[in-house]
Structure 1
Amino acid sequence: MTGRTEITVVGGGLAGLIAAVEAAEAGAPVRLLEARRRLGGRATSTPGPFVANLGPHALYAGTELWDWLRRRDLQGRAVTPRSPHMVLRWEGRIRRLPPRALAPVLRLRRTAAPVDVDLRTWLTDRSGPDTAAAVAGLAGALTFDHDPGRLSAAFVVERLQRIFLRPTVAARYVDGGWSALVGRLGAHARTLGVRIELDAGVDAAGLDELRAAGPVILAVEPGAARRLLGDDVGGDGRRVALLDVGLARARDPYVVIDLDEAIFSTRPSAVLPGLAPDGADVVQLSGGMAPDETLDDAEARLEAVLDAASPGWRGRVEWRRQAAVREATGAVDLPGATWRDRPAIDRGDGLWLAGDWVAAPGHLAEVGCTSAVTAAGAAVAARGAAVVASF
């Protein structure tokens, strides 16, 4: 190795960009390779006039990702939602007030839930089956799982405490969508000297060559990591159905939380009007898909939530997009497992993983940030040791 040995980051999503910035800020030369013709990975938005993210993304105050962005003034205009027009769907009905079954959730604010018991079993024993079902449905927006009740009670309750049970609203919507956030990250990385190469895919042989030349941070989705490394490094095959619609404006709810089927709907243009044309709104829905569920069946469930919350919406549609994403919503922990049981960041021989599915703490994209910071620090240290050894 020479004194100019670069750290190579493979993957230009949020985790890859954060890793590149961290390493460059530490004084290391950094090269970032992105297979697509744009940066961002899953942190992408439609170009307009209806601006929709790939899923109902939000930043959350009080998380490592939020703090990391704020320290660099990269969060941009991130607005706290203040609309009171939130409704819940419970037992097939739209309600403006939480059902009685959800009342015990407030007692979870300072409760330590067990790791080795699933949420449904634990809450059924504590508060009964109705409360267990309602809280599991509430957790759909935090886990993107088709059945949050099957997950570790500790995993779900920690996220409820950090996001939903805070005294102040944690969510922040990014003006211009997450593509605008990615644009700021990319510009900051270039200012620090990061060499960003787009349309620069890497195969397994290419990854081996990169590892031989210097430290490598692999910041890709689980499927890509499996293909590049040739082994099972994680990923659980979970799928999420997405439905985005641009609607002529009416009195649609700002948020719909479907407690029946863990579906989440949000109207971000209620917070940031620039996300939709004048006189229109953009509504985004998401719901975890069962292992054998078809996209058509999943979309029908999402549409049923719109039917209940916004009757007549079909006659107001001006734009529509639907999709299913696989292994694209971060890791979940089953009973008996914690984030420490996910794929390790340090893979040995000068390779580190970064992403929202690896062994790092946090909530959704925060996991990607935490793992990227950890991976970058280790890569910088390894590079420094190699440079010293080369003299």
Structure 2
Amino acid sequence: MHRARTQDRTRVTVVGGGFAGLTAAITAAESGAEVTVHEAHRTLGGRARTADGPYLTNDGPHALYNGGPHWTWLKQRGLLGPMAPLPPAEGMRLRLHRNGTLHRVPPFAMLRLTRRTAESAPVDTDFLTWATEQVGAEGARAAAHYVGVALFHHDPGSLSARFVQERFRRATALPPEAHYPRGGWGNLVERMADHAWSMGVRIETGSRIGPDELPDDHPVIVATTLSAARRILDDPSLTWPSGRTMLIDLALRTRKGDPFVVSDLDAPGWIERFTAQDRTLAPEGESLVQGQVPIAPDESKADGTARAERLLDAGFPGWRERVVWRRESVSNGRTGAVDPVGTTWRDRPAIDRGNGIYLAGDQVAAPGLLTEVSFNSGIEAATLAIRTKRLDLKRA
């Protein structure tokens, strides 16, 4: 990569060492900037952290979509690394929970909806209303619940039709766009951090930055959750709807015939056996099962747990007797942006906050699906920061 001469280098501070922050740091360093990353935790990765063994879990079923720009960006820099392969045909058991029983194929009406482009769906109409007009009530409800895996939201049908349809099409694409870094997201984060170090990026972990500690003589990119950015920047306007979901992780003694995925079409919910494609995630003879069940603001963790267990009962008979390890948590407002009726990603909090402050993360004004929002905003924030600083220097 071309790098600017030392005397011309711009300084950039990045607050947050997750996927967005590391993307911003690498982008700024490639432009010749002198970059420092401050991460409040002792480890990098944000929500892309992978737990220490023996169960290599992530905070929810993150995925890399090969239809997105970040796939190419990572690959060009040698950062993509090995991906966990899809299970062989005999292990590729997708089960759909509908009307209380398991099915191998979705309703035909739901499949018909995959033929509608995202552009054909209106922004100012909710998804369920629009989809019902397209394929009928049954197919519309099934599609809304199925796409919950990419939204972490309890009522996808109430969101903007354009927003949901884009994600529905990508979540149902064949061959699948979703891929998982082998060994968990932590390996990808480690490769990105090593690359940043090799470019001269200074990374400080255990370094929590407060409102009074932000430098005012060079650009700052705040690459944190929106709630953390609200505190750091003392800006109450930094809000946007997100999801609330109950996450469940299980290690089960392996049993032949267990499905790869169980998707609930009666309500949003998703259970996935991650060791079907990556045996390194759990000890030999055990399966790592992860699931997410979106819950409404007035629902409790227990409500989500009960729904997850009903889905497990349907897809993994006898799972209770096979449990070796179990963990549950609720992720609230930490699952990426969702766009209500009448809004698009352009209406979310702007990346450029003025006065040399920029935002990056999964709830800001950038396009894409899940991690792609963090990636796109990280690149945009770094690009704007460098460009604006250099224009200011020319004017001085």
For 1:61, the equivalent position in structure 2 comes to 66
Match of 2:262 in 1: 256
Amino acid at match of 1:339: W
Bigger mean CA deviation after superposition, 320-329 or 232-241: 232-241
Residue pairs, 1:1-391, within 5 angstroms:
5-82=10-87, 83-108=91-116, 112-164=120-172, 166-207=173-214, 210=215, 212-230=216-234, 231-236=236-241, 238-250=243-255, 251-388=257-394
Q: Residues of 2 paired with 1:184 and 1:225: CA distance?
A: 26
Provide the C-alpha distance between the structure 2 equivalents of 1:153 and 1:168, rounded to a whole number of angstroms.
Answer: 24
CA distance in 2, matches of 1:32, 1:387: 23
| Aligned residue identity for 1:126 | Q
Give the distance between the partners of 1:34 and 1:285, measured in 2 at CA.
28
Say if 1:81 and 1:171, in contact at 8 Å, map to a contact too: no
* Cα distance in 1 for residues equivalent to 2:19 and 2:345: 19
Q: Which moved more, 1:125-134 or 1:141-150?
A: 125-134
The range that moved more, 111-120 or 347-356, is 111-120
Contact 1:238 1:291 in 2 (8 A): no
- Report deviation, 1:111: 6.5
**In 1, distance between residues paired with 2:369 and 2:299?**
26
Displacement of 1:213 in angstroms is 2.1
Is the contact between residue 261 and residue 271 of structure 2 (CA under 8 Å) also seen in structure 1? yes
Number of residue pairs matched by the alignment: 385
The amino acid of 2:46's aligned partner reads: G
Alpha-carbon distance in structure 1 between the residues aligned to 2:49 and 2:367: 23
**2:312 and 2:279 mapped to 1: Cα distance?**
20
CA–CA separation in structure 2 for the residues paired with 1:316 and 1:353: 45
CA distance in 2, matches of 1:113, 1:195: 45
Kindly provide the CA deviation profile for residues 47-82 of structure 1, in whole angstroms up to 9, marking residues without a partner as x.
111111110111110102212111111111113414
2:116 and 2:18 map into 1 onto residues whose CA distance is: 34
Matched letter for residue 218 of structure 1: V
**Structure 2 stretches of 5 or more lacking a match?**
1-6
Q: Distance in 1 between matches of 2:240 and 2:330?
A: 16
What is the alpha-carbon distance in structure 2 between the residues aligned to residue 307 and residue 111 of structure 1? 39
Letter in 2 for 1:11: G
- Contact 1:8–1:215, Cα closer than 8 Å, also in 2: yes
Contact 1:5-1:213 within 8 A present in 2 as well: no
The percentage of counterpart residues that share the same residue type is: 45
Contact 1:80-1:171 at 8 Å conserved across structures: no
Q: What is the TM-score when the length of structure 2 is the normalising length?
A: 0.94
- Provide the C-alpha distance between the structure 2 equivalents of 1:40 and 1:48, rounded to a whole number of angstroms: 16
TM-score when scaled to structure 1? Answer: 0.95
Deviation sequence 1:143-165 (CA, Å, 0-9, x none): 1111111111111111122332x
Runs of at least 5 residues in structure 1 that lack an aligned partner in the other structure = none
Assess if the C-alpha contact under 8 Å between 2:242 and 2:337 holds in 1.
no
Displacement of 1:104 in angstroms is 2.4
Residue 102 of structure 1: how far off its partner (Å): 2.5
* Deviation (angstroms), 1:321: 1.0
2:69 and 2:372 in contact (8 A); partners too = yes
Could you tell me whether the CA contact under 8 Å between 2:158 and 2:340 is conserved in 1? yes
CA RMSD, 1 decimal: 1.6
Q: Distance in 2 between matches of 1:329 and 1:299?
A: 18
CA contact (8 A) 2:152 2:292 kept: yes
Query: Any idea what the Cα deviations from partners look like across 1:159-195, whole Å, max 9, x if unmatched?
Result: 122332x342211111110111111111110001000
The answer on whether the counterparts of 1:223 and 1:235 sit within 8 Å (CA) in structure 2 is: no
Asked if structure 1 preserves the Cα contact closer than 8 Å seen for 2:28 and 2:35, the reply is yes
Cα deviation, residue 32, structure 1: 0.4
